[in-house]
Each structure stands twice: as structure tokens, then as C-alpha cells.
Amino acid sequence: MEDRSDRSMSWVEPGIVKWNGSNNQIELLVRWNERTEIKTIEGIQVTEYVYDSFRFVYNLADEIYPGEAILAYLERSKDAIILLAQNLSQQIEEALKWQRR
């Protein structure tokens, strides 16, 4: 998925934390590969930030409870979460390619 904004965005946008009966889950919008595009709109140059992105539900570690600890946990796990989002995104794209055949 591609995400566009008129401003630079954080690598992650956490959603609501929900208890699924065995652990806490959080919906995440993960962004990577930031690039910029310059567009001219009505004679004015505008910078648009473009990202690859993926939204998914992430299971939090058992010791992480809702609150500020989640943001610290996500930041510590940034590389692993981005890699997971990239892999899931790629798997979806490949499945869609097979489906179109």
C-alpha cells in the first residue's frame, strides 16, 4: 500500500489496543521507504511525502500493558516490526498476482 501526506509522518501509527482473551493486540499502520515528490498545484510547488505502508494487527508481548509502555516497546521493536510489515505486504502482493492469473 502507498501512503501520501503533505508532511513527514512517523514510521508507525498505533491504533486501539484490544484484549483478545489471551494477550493484547494493537492495530498498526507501519510506514517505510519515505520519499518526496514535488508537485505544482496552481503555480505553487508542494512537497508530498510518499511511503510504502501496511496496516495489520500486532500481538503485543505479554509483559506490555496499554499505556505509554506500548510506545517504548514499539520503538525498541522498530526494525522487527518494519520487517514484518514489509514481509506481510509482499505476501499479499504476491497472492494478489496469483489471483489475477
pLDDT of residue 13: 95
So what's the pLDDT on residue 32?
97
22-42 pLDDT, tens per residue? Answer: 888 999 999 999 999 999 989
Render pLDDT for 61-80 as a digit per residue (tens, 0 to 9): 888 877 878 999 999 999 99
Angle between helices 78-100 and 68-76 (to 10 degrees): 70
**pTM of the entire structure?**
0.85
pLDDT, average across residues 12-22:
90
Q: What is the mean pLDDT of the chain?
A: 92
3-state SS, 23-34, equals: CEEEEEEEEEEE
